[in-house]
Structure 1
Amino acid sequence: MVYTKKEQPYKIEKEGEDEVLRLNYENKPYSPSIEDNPLVMMDALDKLIENPSISRITFFQRKNYNYDSNQTSMLMDIANIYNYFVKNKRTMNPEAMGIPTDSPDLLAQRFEVLRQILFYQLKIDPIGAYAELKRVIRGENINLKKSITPDEKESIHRYLSILNKIFESLDRSSLINGARNFLPGYTSQNRDIYKNIFKPSITPDFMYSKIMASPPLDGEQLDIYKIDNKSEVTIYNTPKEIKKLYHITPPEFKISEDKYNLVDMAKSVLSQHQPQENEFLDPEKMRNTFTNIGKDLIRDLADQQGIPLSPEELLELAEILVRHTIGFGVLELILVDDKVQDITINSPPGQSPIFVLHQDHGECVTNIVPSKTDFEGWATKLRLISGRPLDEANPILDTELILPQARSRVSIITKPLNPFGYSLAFRRHRDTPWTLPLFLKVKMISPLGAGLMSFLIDGSRSILVAGTRSSGKTSFLGSLLLEIMRRYRILTIEDTLEIPTEAMRKLGYNIQPLKVRAALVKGGSEVPADEGIRTSLRLGDSALIVGEVRSSIRGNEEVMIVKNNLTQLVQIKDLENQDISNIFVPTMDFDLKFRLKKLKGFIKHPPRKKLLEVTTRTGRKVTVTPDHSLFTHKDFRILPIECKDLKIGSKIILPEKLPSDYNNIQKINLLELLKGRGCRIEGYEEDLKEIIQKIGYKKATEIAKISNDIYQYLRKGIQHTNIPIDTFVSLSKAANHTFSLQKLKLKTGTSKTLNAEIPITKDFCRFLGYYVAEGYTSKSGTIVLSNDNPNIKKDIINLAKNLFNVNCYQRITKSLGVSTQIVISNRIVGHLISALGCGRIALKKRVPSFIYGLSEEKICEFLKGYFDGDGSQTASKNSGNSISASTISKKLASDICYLFLQIGIVARIEEREQTGKGKHKQYRVIFKQRKYIEKFLDKIGFIKYKKEIINRSFSHSKLNSVNYNCKILEDNVKIKRKYRHLRRHSSCGKDYLKKVIDDDKFASDKIKTFVNGDFYLDEVKRIKEIKLDKEEYVYDLSVEPCQNFVGGFGGIMLHNSEAKALYEAMRIGASANVVAGTIHGDSPYGVFDRVVNDLDVPKTSFKATDIIAMCNPIRSGGGLKKVRRVLSITEVRKDWEQDPQAERGFVDLMKYNAKTDLLEPTPDLINGDSEVLKAIGANVREWVGNWDAIWENILLRADIKKMILDYSIKTNQPKMLEAAFCLESNDMQHRISENVVEEVGQLDPKIIKERWENWLKDRLKQ
């Protein structure tokens, strides 16, 4: 802000909805600091008293001191209090200070006290006025107690009434509330307390953005680093903000006052220049020109002022000057930070800071608040850079911003799309494109496939790269671009500039990007895609590339699977190399109900070092790659969301009800379960005699691997030995003998026997629940359970007798207080508990895997035993109802949550650190929602509790809440009068929404399906970035058709251009060198179906496609790894009419073989049955009618790509695989080929290969 002598001491300006008070302190002898100077505070309050609509305050004194709306609002509260009481004649007159009989001196004395506080102290020190009022009130209360006559009491009461009204108004003010934590120890006239409240952003006069220069006093420093050795960035955690603070200190804030003056004067001169559109055609050249002008200007000014400057200082000041004139100000410093991925700037201007997505710290808020001037300047420059309009008729602008050290895609919107003005989003680009040798390295394509694609590019074919999301199709298209010879011109057509055209230009390509209108922008000056394509074809013979209009979990994460009817929670990496043919997983179907679906694929992705740990409000956790998707909801639909796009508070889908009763086994075969544990059998004699008769005693003795003969297991008396389980099972298998488990019993040593078949009853499940809660197994196999409840002890003893025929005994222990232990001394039972996976000690406890999938009744009995052992119930009017259980086994806490999901209860997991040596972290499983409490007590219940549920009035809970747009809600359901409050909000509980939907029989099917879905809406509580010291493989599962599964700690649901413009290009661009693009699709016919039926492209236009290259994640044959692969290269024939699939319009030239993990040639390719390849050959003299010559050239290209990879590995030079070297290699291949034709009259592949390899060897020596 530049003031002249004619200007008023202050003025009010309108910025959006804000009125900004600007005070000129240029000639004041003191600094314009509200917090330091009482005179400045008084001046500000006087202006606010006169202008009560002020939103923000800015002082100017060589620099701008900006007080934001929150700080200004605090002062406005004081101004309003002043206005109210000073103008209130009933308050501010001496007669109101008491009763008529009071002496005039007393009334005058009281009035003077109040006048000093209100008229003077309130303006210069409102907190002091508050403290003084409190002191006066305390003194008058003492006087009241001492008063004797009724008149004295009434007089003091009236005075106190006025004092209390003023005090209460101050007490409610935002200033006092903000200062309350600092009031203890406060002394009058000490202004340190204001420094904790008022913190202006101070900016140089040449800078419009407001920067909070001082770090937060209550901030915890997490990280600190420098950008290009110039700007310092510090990351803070602050207690009042969920997001971390990205605090940047620009070099502008570190220069001396003399240098500051030089930049300020230079800007005044340089800013008079108005850049024209043609100056922005080459931003790099323009910046260099202005930097040189700035250096000359600053040097002249420094000489005039007698200020010595070194060359480095001169360059630094020139860069600051250029940044704040033709550049983007402080925003540039953020853009060159390699750790910043995205930048978002929201309107209205001056009220919201810049937000960044940081690679190490996630979503951060910065200390920079751009002004209205910043917004307008940036918008103007982006309009000039893009050459396209940005106004109310064209409210959307997408362009690319290129800075000396950064390249970014920019999206900017304005009115009427954004009613508050401009809003910007920046996304940084990666410049280096993929190459075919790089794809060979990761085995996405085979050498022959790379050779074929290179041949097709040289043959000027129309190529469509298709695939599902995250299949690598866009990267693959980029690698094909590098196969185009640099002597050809390339035109790219996009609605959002994403193809790395600038990188290709630097690599020597003659490339011209064209920007067309996006699909969601109607009208405006930008041309539509089809018109842009027609124009491009008139720009000359060019290759035409049409851009498309616009993941995995850590190996130790557990996923739920059902294998051979047995439910397991297994680490996902353990599924590698397993037979998955009989594995099912719970998955959410299209009706939003969870069902078991067959696992179609296990995928192992390349190693990653950077992962994200996502924690939800219910305590669930999962560690994934940033590009892996979880699920969220929008407009009553379930949608995937990549974890890198998650924020604190983002909604995450959990299962609320998983399938049960799909494996309700009735019995356990202990012979199978206890193999290898040294147990022996009783009651086997008749079976063994039959086995000996069938196979003979010699073979039986051999199978039994014993020194004596097999009859030792049949002799009686002292020589009798019981047969081991393993031996008996092996003999039965050899003799093909079927035995009855009901006759057999098991024992070990001198222990009592146990039936060889155990029924899975509710009693058995409850006993296991007791053990998992309160039991442990000694190393000798003795089971001990602890409980002091008489009913529970009796139940455990009865269960042991009925289930195992074991008599327990009880003992009293006093080590950690008096406790009763129930001891089951039977090693077979100990082996059973161990084999079921219950865990020997508390730290290793888990839910036995067979419990999952049982009937709900049996699951509830297990939970009944567990919660009667370790659980508790609370019910109070203050805290409500809750049921919980605690354990030191992290995996058990997760197991219990999974088990609850099978009966429709979503529990929360709370982690608590325990103090003391040897203490373990404790995990508390808890739920409080009333419907879950009622379900638990109804289906499970307690033996030890008989508590009632506390009934509390209904309220909209933030738990399991649905966010909605009111208009979309009313499009799907009629809001009755009793639910009209929903119009005032944007969220409500899912259960409450179901109540609303059930009350409207005309509600849409979409919203009915949504509210009746078996899912729970959790929220992201924390996102932690994990940087591994060593890369780890990451994994995924494929489940058709829904592509989701359940895993993680506690159970989380995990996810596994338009075309018309592209086909217009293919039909019109017959004379072009190549036409290529990308599209979503899972097969050639799937592409046809989508293009013709969904996108309304005529069938005849589809025939313009020559080749479809399918990219998809698949399973490899050997390791069942999920990897990106080119699955097929398919030729599209032209002689079909209706259905290319039925009329052999699709001919696979190459097909992926899962067994060999290679893209292999089909007989059609080997035999030369390809119309496309023959058409290419027809245009080359050496190949006309000679399939062998065509095939040899394809093989030559394949060998060259393979040699690049081999030599890169052999010489440890990974840069050989990058774009620069690959282009050099391609150029050399073409030069050598031309020379060979001239020398020998034909393209001899052996000579070309030999000469190219010799060149490669020589090149590597350089």
Structure 2
Amino acid sequence: MVIHASLPYDEQVFLWTPEGGFGFYDIGDIVENERAAHAVSFDPKTLRVRTHRVSDHIRNPTKRIFRVTLESGREVLVTRDHNLFTLDERGGVARLPSEDAEGELVMVPDRLPEPHAPDTELDLVDLFGDDEDIVVYAADGLGDVDWSHVPTGSRRHYEQRGSAPLPAVGASKTPEDATVAFKQSDTKLPRHFEVTPEFGWVLGFYIAEGYGRRKQLVVNNRNDAHLDRFASFFESRGVSISEHVREDGIRDVTVCSALWSKLVRTLCGSGSEKNIPECAWNWSTDVLERLYEGLIDGDGSRRDSRDSLFTNNDALADRAMYLGARLGLVNSTYSRDRSYHIEPSDVDWEGTQHVVDFAEESHKRGQSVPIPTELLSGYRKRAEWTMAEAAEEMGYRSASSISNVENAEWNGVKRETLERFRDAYRDAGVDTARLDHILDGHVRFERVETVEETDRVEPTYDLEVQPNGRVIENFIGGKGGVFLSNTAGIVDPGYHGQITLELSNLGTAPVALSPGMRVSQLVFTEMKNPAERPYGVERGSKYQDQEGPQASRIGADPEFAAARAEAEAEMDAEDAKADAEDAKADAEADTDADAGADRTDETGGS
């Protein structure tokens, strides 16, 4: 959902960073450390979703936290005094106070962007870090090795084999063509391990149906085809497999390899906390499609209209919804209290089961749209149709079918109905660019189920997303992936200077401002004690004693210089290409909005 809000420290947001690419981060960590990042955001004019540079980091006052929950199971923790986003009568982006939002349709992402250059391999040396169980080998030698913590007898053993413990070598000194192994094991893998679609399926199946031990991976299932596929992946790589069939028909497949167990457990976890790897969001779509397939094959079901994943792990349900969005699938989740006997483990289990549903098109979730009444009536007038004529062109029996939509007799309209309107008006020569954005953009709409007060009262955080002055002002976070809009700025204790007032129009029609009109407010919060780190030179503050309006100066921060210049340049080049495409779409939207503003007061049938 799209929210004008502040978030608590530990609420996770989905961002792109130069160090880690796409991934999940605590918003408090991003703000407190002013980390460079690109937000995954929708453009208010085109409703396309892609990355936009975070232009500032905002610390907000301590406030009560509320939980906003949608019918799809998405939820986010925010402050109550901000807005959800919906559509206005002209099809523009409109704010909706959260306290008034229950039962209303608000924005959610329809899809997430792919990485510009997907990662095709894993650097196992970086992945394993300083793990003392890992040994590295190099045919041409390992160079300067720190043997200070390695016993003398062990050192001779390593040197005879052309190897050394990973911590003694370090990632920066390990040759690129090195191989890695688990200590006291002969199985080796190249430092740069290829990420293939089949590896993605193996990980998905393991997450859904397996568990890990120090030197083993175990999966169990009744489906022989799936188990054979899992075993074949490892057997083809020279790994020993053991199998056991129980009296009840459950078949266990055990991968007997400490190294492979270490790799899979490092990526996905080993027990009830297993989840989609954090680095997976930078993999290609074909790999993620196979990972999704493995999840459903492992612990899911397939029907004609949808797939379902079953899990006792709330965190996996959350990430699975993000995975669905990344693959362009409509998704929703719900939970239920269950108790049953787990046959593979021969234990009785009682707790909460989470179900995540996926569909290419759903007749229930994400199919309703707030009605842009004036946009639709403007299209009809440009087609020079009466309501009766419009009804006839669209195949409806009476003009009331058109009147009911234009007068918003219902709280929302089906997407297929809007497509029917669009097709008719487009065939009549009407420019339907804005309706195209609504129907073909990267957002959907879902109803707010509840807005509930929590017992949390704490500092809140926000991100400003206005790259190069563009009004984007949203990012993705929360359970299942929801759009969050940044709030007004904060004047920090110790600041001296003029305050920059920023105004933006997220709609598609102009808004007239006249002298004396109230356009902003200042809210004062009394501090009980002096600030421990007041704004100013000692803190490295960039806007002290400013005069007149100032654009963001975050680019002057030292961490933006050499270390991240290459990654930023690549991302900015892609942004520039997308900006050019957006500029063309913006021009179409502006033309559509100008025509929509020329409307009459007709609301009845003809």
Provide the C-alpha distance between the structure 2 equivalents of 1:1051 and 1:556, rounded to a whole number of angstroms: 15
Question: Which amino acid letter does the alignment assign opposite residue 825 of structure 1?
Answer: C
CA spacing shift, 1:751–1:890, aligned 2, 3 Å: farther
Which of the pair is proportionally richer in helix?
Answer: 1
Structure 1 counterpart SS, 2:125: helix
Shift of 1:862: 0.8
Provide the C-alpha distance between the structure 1 equivalents of 2:125 and 2:252, rounded to a whole number of angstroms: 30
Q: Is the 8 A contact 2:131 2:167 kept in 1?
A: no
1:882 pairs with 2:306: yes
Indicate the residue corresponding to 1:964 in structure 2: 371
Indicate the residue corresponding to 1:990 in structure 2: 415
**Within 5 A, what are the aligned runs for 1:508-907?**
551-563=5-17, 564-581=19-36, 583-589=37-43, 590-608=45-63, 610-635=64-89, 636-646=91-101, 648-681=102-135, 683-688=137-142, 691=143, 700=145, 704-706=148-150, 708=152, 712=156, 715-716=159-160, 722-729=163-170, 733=173, 739-741=175-177, 743-750=178-185, 752-778=187-213, 780-802=214-236, 804-813=237-246, 817-836=248-267, 838-842=268-272, 844-875=273-304, 881-907=305-331
1:922 pairs with 2:353: yes
Provide the C-alpha distance between the structure 1 equivalents of 2:464 and 2:120, rounded to a whole number of angstroms: 32
* Partner deviation per Cα, 1:956-1005 (whole Å, 9 max, x = no partner): 86852123264541213554524343433434212441343144331343
1:1082 pairs with 2:502: yes
Shift of 1:1048: 0.8
**Within 5 A, what are the aligned runs for 1:13-52?**
none
Provide the C-alpha distance between the structure 1 equivalents of 2:126 and 2:65, rounded to a whole number of angstroms: 41
Provide the C-alpha distance between the structure 1 equivalents of 2:538 and 2:326, rounded to a whole number of angstroms: 36
Q: Is the 8 A contact 2:109 2:482 kept in 1?
A: yes
Provide the C-alpha distance between the structure 2 equivalents of 1:859 and 1:1012, rounded to a whole number of angstroms: 23
Q: Is the 8 A contact 2:136 2:165 kept in 1?
A: no
Structure 2 counterpart SS, 1:619: coil
TM-score w.r.t. length of structure 1:
0.36
Indicate the residue corresponding to 1:1033 in structure 2: 459
Provide the C-alpha distance between the structure 1 equivalents of 2:338 and 2:364, rounded to a whole number of angstroms: 31
Question: Which amino acid letter does the alignment assign opposite residue 727 of structure 1?
Answer: A
Q: Is the 8 A contact 1:659 1:853 kept in 2?
A: no
Provide the C-alpha distance between the structure 2 equivalents of 1:1000 and 1:1154, rounded to a whole number of angstroms: 61
Structure 2 counterpart SS, 1:786: strand
Provide the C-alpha distance between the structure 2 equivalents of 1:849 and 1:988, rounded to a whole number of angstroms: 37
The match for 1:1155 among 523, 539, 550 is 539
Structure 1 counterpart SS, 2:38: strand
Shift of 1:919: 2.0
* Partner deviation per Cα, 1:379-418 (whole Å, 9 max, x = no partner): xxxxxxxxxxxxxxxxxxxxxxxxxxxxxxxxxxxxxxxx
Q: Is the 8 A contact 2:330 2:365 kept in 1?
A: no
* Partner deviation per Cα, 1:1056-1080 (whole Å, 9 max, x = no partner): 1xxxxxxxxxxxxxxxxxxxxx999
Q: Is the 8 A contact 2:137 2:164 kept in 1?
A: no
Structure 1 counterpart SS, 2:131: coil
The match for 2:474 among 1034, 1037, 1044 is 1044
CA spacing shift, 1:850–1:978, aligned 2, 3 Å: farther
* Partner deviation per Cα, 1:421-467 (whole Å, 9 max, x = no partner): xxxxxxxxxxxxxxxxxxxxxxxxxxxxxxxxxxxxxxxxxxxxxxx
Structure 2 counterpart SS, 1:845: coil
Provide the C-alpha distance between the structure 1 equivalents of 2:207 and 2:547, rounded to a whole number of angstroms: 61
Question: Which amino acid letter does the alignment assign opposite residue 787 of structure 1?
Answer: N
Q: Is the 8 A contact 2:332 2:365 kept in 1?
A: no
Q: Is the 8 A contact 2:121 2:194 kept in 1?
A: yes
Question: Which amino acid letter does the alignment assign opposite residue 208 of structure 2?
Answer: A
Indicate the residue corresponding to 1:330 in structure 2: none
Indicate the residue corresponding to 1:1220 in structure 2: none
Q: Is the 8 A contact 1:1043 1:1055 kept in 2?
A: yes
Provide the C-alpha distance between the structure 2 equivalents of 1:649 and 1:1096, rounded to a whole number of angstroms: 35
What is the RMSD computed on CA atoms of the aligned residues?
3.6
The match for 2:436 among 999, 1008, 1018 is 1008
Q: Is the 8 A contact 1:680 1:747 kept in 2?
A: yes
Question: Which amino acid letter does the alignment assign opposite residue 264 of structure 2?
Answer: I
**Within 5 A, what are the aligned runs for 1:1026-1175?**
1026-1028=454-456, 1031-1040=457-466, 1041-1056=471-486, 1081-1082=501-502, 1095=513, 1155=539, 1160-1161=544-545
Provide the C-alpha distance between the structure 2 equivalents of 1:830 and 1:1010, rounded to a whole number of angstroms: 46
Q: Is the 8 A contact 1:599 1:1039 kept in 2?
A: yes
Provide the C-alpha distance between the structure 2 equivalents of 1:874 and 1:606, rounded to a whole number of angstroms: 48
Question: Which amino acid letter does the alignment assign opposite residue 776 of structure 1?
Answer: Y
* Partner deviation per Cα, 1:1023-1051 (whole Å, 9 max, x = no partner): 222233xx322222221231101111111
Question: Which amino acid letter does the alignment assign opposite residue 392 of structure 2?
Answer: R
Structure 2, unmatched stretches of 5+, are 341-347, 384-389, 487-497, 505-510, 525-531, 549-606
Structure 2 counterpart SS, 1:900: helix
* Partner deviation per Cα, 1:632-665 (whole Å, 9 max, x = no partner): 122212223232232x211110000110143411
- Rg: which structure is higher? 1
Q: Is the 8 A contact 2:58 2:461 kept in 1?
A: yes
Structure 2 counterpart SS, 1:865: helix
CA spacing shift, 1:580–1:1079, aligned 2, 3 Å: closer
Structure 2 counterpart SS, 1:920: strand
CA spacing shift, 1:711–1:1155, aligned 2, 3 Å: same
Shift of 1:704: 4.6
Q: Is the 8 A contact 1:680 1:722 kept in 2?
A: no
Shift of 1:892: 0.6
Shift of 1:588: 0.4
Question: Which amino acid letter does the alignment assign opposite residue 114 of structure 2?
Answer: S
Q: Is the 8 A contact 1:656 1:1016 kept in 2?
A: yes
Provide the C-alpha distance between the structure 2 equivalents of 1:1042 and 1:1163, rounded to a whole number of angstroms: 25
Provide the C-alpha distance between the structure 2 equivalents of 1:1080 and 1:580, rounded to a whole number of angstroms: 23
Q: Is the 8 A contact 2:9 2:27 kept in 1?
A: yes
Provide the C-alpha distance between the structure 2 equivalents of 1:664 and 1:1081, rounded to a whole number of angstroms: 39
Shift of 1:769: 0.8
Question: Which amino acid letter does the alignment assign opposite residue 1036 of structure 1?
Answer: D
Q: Percent identity?
A: 20
Q: Is the 8 A contact 1:766 1:861 kept in 2?
A: yes
Q: Is the 8 A contact 1:657 1:1014 kept in 2?
A: yes
Provide the C-alpha distance between the structure 1 equivalents of 2:365 and 2:392, rounded to a whole number of angstroms: 23
Provide the C-alpha distance between the structure 1 equivalents of 2:547 and 2:459, rounded to a whole number of angstroms: 36
Indicate the residue corresponding to 1:286 in structure 2: none
Shift of 1:553: 1.7
Provide the C-alpha distance between the structure 1 equivalents of 2:320 and 2:128, rounded to a whole number of angstroms: 25
CA spacing shift, 1:714–1:868, aligned 2, 3 Å: closer
* Partner deviation per Cα, 1:335-370 (whole Å, 9 max, x = no partner): xxxxxxxxxxxxxxxxxxxxxxxxxxxxxxxxxxxx
Q: Is the 8 A contact 2:205 2:294 kept in 1?
A: yes
More relative contact order in 1 or in 2 (CA 8 Å, sep 6+)?
2
Q: Is the 8 A contact 2:59 2:460 kept in 1?
A: yes
Provide the C-alpha distance between the structure 1 equivalents of 2:312 and 2:365, rounded to a whole number of angstroms: 29
Shift of 1:865: 1.0
* Partner deviation per Cα, 1:158-208 (whole Å, 9 max, x = no partner): xxxxxxxxxxxxxxxxxxxxxxxxxxxxxxxxxxxxxxxxxxxxxxxxxxx
CA spacing shift, 1:829–1:1161, aligned 2, 3 Å: same
Provide the C-alpha distance between the structure 2 equivalents of 1:709 and 1:786, rounded to a whole number of angstroms: 42
Q: Is the 8 A contact 1:781 1:830 kept in 2?
A: yes
